[in-house]
Amino acid sequence: MNDQASQPFSRTHCEKPKDCARTARSARRLLGYVFLLAALTFLSGVQPAAIGAASAQPASAPLAGADLAPALALLGTDSYGDTDAALGRLAVSTNTRAADIVEAIRDGRLLFDPQSKAVFLRMPDGAVTDAATGAAVGAPPAGLRPVRVNNRVRRAIDAAAGALALLSPDNQKRLAAAAAVFKSRDVSALPILDAALAKEGDPKVKTALEQARAAIIVASQSVSEPERVSAARLIAARGDQDALAILSSLPPNSPDAVKAAAADGIEAINRSLAMWAVAQNVWYGLSLGSVLLLAAIGLAITFGVMGVINMAHGEMVMLGAYTTYVVQEIIRTSAPFLFGWSLAIALPLAFLFTAIVGIIIERTVIRFLYGRPLETLLATWGISLILQQAVRSVFGPTNKEVGAPSWMSGAFDIGQMSITYNRLWIIVFSLLVFFALLLVLKRTALGLYVRAVTQNRRMAGAMGIRTGRIDALTFGLGSGIAGIAGVALSQIDNVSPNLGQGYIIDSFMVVVFGGVGNLWGTLVAAFGLGVANKLLEPFAGAVLGKILILVLIILFIQKRPRGLFALKGRAVEA
């Protein structure tokens, strides 16, 4: 093909000037049609798609980061004051990247270039991104330095993080954010707090937001006096230590009406906290009482039936705790998925192990010493020392770690009172053990024989009851219950060879005070002494409180030697 054929619109192809002009006009008209068609195609298809894509871009896109620019400019100055100011701007930002930036400052992952003042964010995986846009930075500048923090900046970080979480879709996050703002009382969070209040639908979260707002405006000079008075009353209705701190720290130049409302609120809060403190001490007393019940309930049986002063009873508790430790160690190494069931597995094993040990002690030592209480006391004391040393030789003298299953971890609040799950479950467990033992003694043949021997040993022997066998089984039952008490105590006390020594004296006090051999007396005495101990501690201290309790028990025993609930029977009456 020649050159002319390859250029159909060139002037050399035209034979006449009129033909060339006509050809040029046709070419221009054709190009116009092409441009018009392209424009229509763009408007009908490409442009809407592009607009849709732009509208679908996240807030972290470069254009959406414009409102972060002032804060990022301050963060690049390496000044604590500027960082504080930048956090104030981030706290009220609507950009979704603001929360990531605040978190990066907290973790030391927000970096700036000392030369260009540009700010970058290092991700947890080590990648570096632009702080404003979130775009990955392939080759970050050399010499990047982290944004520094001090105590003032840390407080600003907490306030900013709380403010940004106020608009979270998660109720729990909004609740936590409201609590953070309540404590920080950051004035800069007030606009976003108002915005969160306007759209909040959850009553619990709304109340928390209103209290956070009241904590800010109660000290604000720019708010009207009636509004500040209402805020003081709203804070007082909260009734906790944080509310008391806010009302106690009002500016000296506050109006008299605001001061009066704050004073009334402080008085009401103090009364409420005093009542909750008593309730908390009662709860602690019930918790202590459940521990005493577990430790003493087995002793109540052996002491009541056989009259043996068993000083090795605490070591049975200790052996139960070490059984739990061994079970958990085996589960950790062989079947970790069973750890949540470790206590359920340890309970029957601890009962059987300590019951067997108790029967061996009764058959080899104690049965030769009946009727000689002083000698049984010395013998069982020696056994306790032997058992302690044996455990030291096998496991060592240091404390052993016994883990708590997930269902026994954590706590919850009732008003101003904190309830821990492990103590709650121990109270429930102690009551279950008590009623199970009561059922055994009231509804089984063994229980009938035990009650017969307790009331009149000679008559029970004359009726054909093998009292020696009942003594062994009873001692084993009491030791087994001490073993499962050790399983429970392993969750709240140190597992060591001396574990049982801390409970043996208190256990004897519970048994004597409640009535020797009487389970109901043991229950009442355990919880009564536990509550009395905890109510006396705030006034007399822990040591003096125990001494006072001991003195009161001695005086009580002088009047009622058989305790609160004395057993009845011919042998007992004699």
Give the 3-state secondary structure of 343-403: HHHHHHHHHHHHHHHHHHHHHHCHHHCCCCHHHHHHHHHHHHHHHHHHHHHHHCCCCECCC
The more confident residue out of 324 and 195 is 324
Mean pLDDT of 376-382: 90
Give the mean pLDDT of 553-566.
79
Q: How far apart are CA 286 and CA 431, in angstroms?
A: 11
| Residue 48 pLDDT | 35
Average predicted confidence (pLDDT) for the chain:
80
Whether the per-residue pLDDT at 558 is higher than 50: the answer is: yes
pLDDT attached to residue 61: 33
* Phi, psi of 396, rounded to the nearest 5 degrees: 90, 165
CA dihedral in degrees (169, 174, 176, 181; nearest 10)? 140
- Contact status, residue 564 vs residue 525, Cβ threshold 8 Å: yes
Task: Report d(CA 526, CA 536) in Å as an integer.
Answer: 16
**pLDDT at residue 505 greater than cutoff 80:** yes
| CB contact at 8 A, 93 and 67 | yes
What is the mean predicted confidence (pLDDT) over 37-66?
36
Q: pLDDT value at position 517?
A: 67
**SS3 state of residue 289:** helix
**Winning range, highest mean pLDDT, from 4-8, 353-357, 469-473:** 353-357
pLDDT of residue 225: 86
What mean pLDDT comes out for the span 135-164?
Answer: 83
Mean of pLDDT values over 197-206: 85
Give the contacts of 209 (CB within 8 A, at least 6 positions apart).
166, 174, 178, 193, 196, 197, 200
Residues 6+ apart with CB under 8 A from 557: 512, 513, 563
Number of H helices, E strands in the chain: 23, 6
Instruction: State the average pLDDT over residues 302-311.
Output: 77
pLDDT at 21 over 50: no
Least confident of 27-41, 118-132, 187-201: 27-41
Q: How far apart are CA 201 and CA 197, in angstroms?
A: 9
21 or 186, greater pLDDT: 186
CB contact at 8 A, 559 and 514 = no
pLDDT at 574 exceeding the cut of 50: no
CB 419, CB 283: distance < 8 Å: yes
Angle, alpha carbons 217-220-222 (nearest 5°): 110
For residue 115, give the DSSP letter: T
- pLDDT category at 350 given cuts 50, 70, 90 is very high
Least confident span in 50-59, 306-315, 353-362, 483-492: 50-59
Asked whether the predicted pLDDT for residue 69 surpasses 90, the reply is: no
| Segment among 31-35, 152-156, 436-440 with least mean pLDDT | 31-35
Closest CA to 357 of 315, 393, 385, 392: 315
Tens digit of each residue's pLDDT (9 = 90 or more) over 222-272: 888 888 888 889 888 888 888 888 888 888 888 888 888 888 989 998 998
Q: Is 135 left (phi over 0), alpha (psi -120 to 50) or beta?
A: beta
**What one-letter code names the amino acid at 344?**
A
- The predicted-structure confidence for 439-489, as pLDDT tens digits, reads as follows 988 888 888 888 787 777 788 888 888 877 888 888 899 899 999 989 988
Query: Residues of the chain with pLDDT > 70: what percent?
Result: 86
Give the 3-state secondary structure of 140-201.
CCCCCEECCCCHHHHHHHHHHHHHHHHHCCCHHHHHHHHHHHHHHCCHHHHHHHHHHHHHCC
